[in-house]
A = this chain, B = another copy of it.
């Protein structure tokens, strides 16, 4: 298909597609004349993926580039996981994280097969150091319950990847799940917080009922 059709089918403006081509996020089409190229279903698919990574996942163009390069490489899935994780993680200098906070993360994740430079390990330790400084580091198992739920989510992620038959689909699922999974989870977490706090603080309040449960006034 031509550029105009690619734009219509993908619902992405021509100027935006040209930007992605210039930035090499989107591979060039097959040139059919000096100023025309042919695009395929693969381009439509890739365009939608780029939109998801940039708009919903919040990646920068440079981060999306690294993630898509990993996707197109023949790297093993675990490496692609690493690249996707790094893209969605702020870089943290390990030296800036207090040893006591790292020790707390390691104790909560005791027995897990994790490399010391896992970006999530450092990020979790940074949060724990901050909670400790504020005087809000729970001794009541709050962090432990977060770790248990994180394990359930990781099992769900890996089951999803395992269920995809082809290697390319698996790799794409790794990237999509890593980048969009945080946003999905934090959205559902806020939804669940409203639900549980309504149950505890306002039992029977009609104002907080789920639309499908709302009774007539």
A127 touches B158 (CB 8 A): no
Residues of B within 8 A of A192 (CB): 109, 112, 120, 147, 150-151, 153-154
Question: How far does the alpha carbon of A196 sit from the alpha carbon of B160 in the complex, in Å?
Answer: 13
A112 to chain B, nearest CB (A): 4
| A101-136 CB contacts (< 8 Å) to partner B | 105-106, 108-116, 118-128, 130-131, 133-136
Residues of B within 8 A of A51 (CB): 130, 133
Residues of B within 8 A of A116 (CB): 211
A141 to chain B, nearest CB (A): 8
Residues of B within 8 A of A197 (CB): 77-78, 81, 154, 158
Kindly report which residue of chain B lies nearest to residue A52, judged by CB atoms: B130
Question: How far does the alpha carbon of A152 sit from the alpha carbon of B122 in the complex, in Å?
Answer: 23
Question: How far does the alpha carbon of A198 sit from the alpha carbon of B180 in the complex, in Å?
Answer: 21
A62 within 8 Å of B by Cβ? no
B131 touches A180 (CB 8 A): yes
A106 touches B210 (CB 8 A): yes
A140 within 8 Å of B by Cβ? yes
Kindly report which residue of chain B lies nearest to residue A121, judged by CB atoms: B191
Question: How far does the alpha carbon of A139 sit from the alpha carbon of B191 in the complex, in Å?
Answer: 21
B78 touches A202 (CB 8 A): yes
Residues of B within 8 A of A190 (CB): 85, 89, 118-121, 123, 178
